Copies of this chain bind each other. A is one copy, B any other.
Amino acid sequence: MNQFIEFQQQYLKQFNDYLHQQLVQEVHQPQVLEGMLYSLDAGGKRIRPFLMLATLKSLQDNTIITDYFKIAGSIELIHTYSLIHDDLPEMDNDDYRRGQLTNHKKFTPARAVLAGDSLLTHAFIWLTANQLPSEIKTQLVQILAQSAGANGMIAGQMIDIINTGKKLSLEEVTHLDNQKTGALITAAVQMGALCGQASADVMFHLQRFSQDFGLAFQIYDDLLDVTGSQSQLGKKVGKDQLEGKNTYVRLLGIAPAQKKLAAIVQAARQELTEVHLDKSILADALKYFD
């Protein structure tokens, strides 16, 4: 039994419908709405918002989860915008994403830039238009903007772009991934912890957990690029390899990367044990890497 997957299955359809309906209600320009929905509705695993919700649920079991859909959704808006911009011709130049044409292939690169910009901006509307106290809202904005911004995800993407084709050290790749992928995952857990009123000690260990989770996520993704199938990935297999991207698999080889993944998952689990969350929904999210 995996509590995280059960939790996700319990709310996934409702969450997806909520995101869709909110945008339909809130966005009035048809082409902007169409571009936003096209990529948001493409699905994906919704790992980040469900990490946020699972963190909250693990800390406060009696929370009404649906009350936090807008907060969790803001993280998915940011993630979706980053995919649209990353896929652009001048960036990774990808044709497929989540098993469908990328946003700029479906529409135009100009419209894809705007779809990304509007999803990014809309995240901050959702973080401040809800029933939470203002103090919490402003902290949520800080966490999400810091993690998504110039010192977080965007820094990671920049380092990735300027180093594609050059071989990086393991330390450099870890740093890159911490920013590019890890920052938003860490933000998701932090946002859940903030909404769940975690103590400073719990916050400390959850932060370490989330950093490990983010790193594990990237290694797992790199492994999938060589061991997965196109249907599993929703994009071309071996693309990272082909483009000389700096992946763990390229640096370490497959078996050592698998071993590193297992060690990090173990470390992440230990962080949860420290704060008695080792039997929680959140702990079960680590089974994703099994």
Contact = CB atoms under 8 A, between A and B. Distances in A.
Interface of A: 26-29, 31-33, 36, 81, 85, 88-91, 108-111, 113-114, 116-118, 120-122, 124-125, 127-129, 133-135, 137-139, 141-142, 145-146, 148-151, 154-155, 157-159, 161-162, 179
Contacts of A138: 128, 134, 137-138, 141
Given A121-B149, A151-B27, A114 B32 contact: no
Copies of the protein in its oligomer: 2
Contacts of A27: 150-151
A74 to B, nearest CB: 11
B162 A150 contact: no
Contacts of A149: 118, 121-122, 125
Contacts of A133: 134
18 contacts: A26-B151, A27-B150, A28-B150, A32-B150, A36-B150, A90-B110, A91-B113, A110-B161, A113-B113, A118-B150, A118-B154, A121-B154, A122-B145, A122-B149, A127-B141, A128-B139, A134-B135, A134-B138
Contacts of A110: 88, 90-91, 161
A182 to B, nearest CB: 15
Contacts of A118: 149-150, 154
Contacts of A148: 121
Given A85-B117, A117-B117, A120-B120, 9 more contacts: A26-B151, A28-B155, A81-B117, A111-B161, A114-B157, A121-B145, A122-B150, A128-B145, A137-B141
Contacts of A137: 134, 138, 141
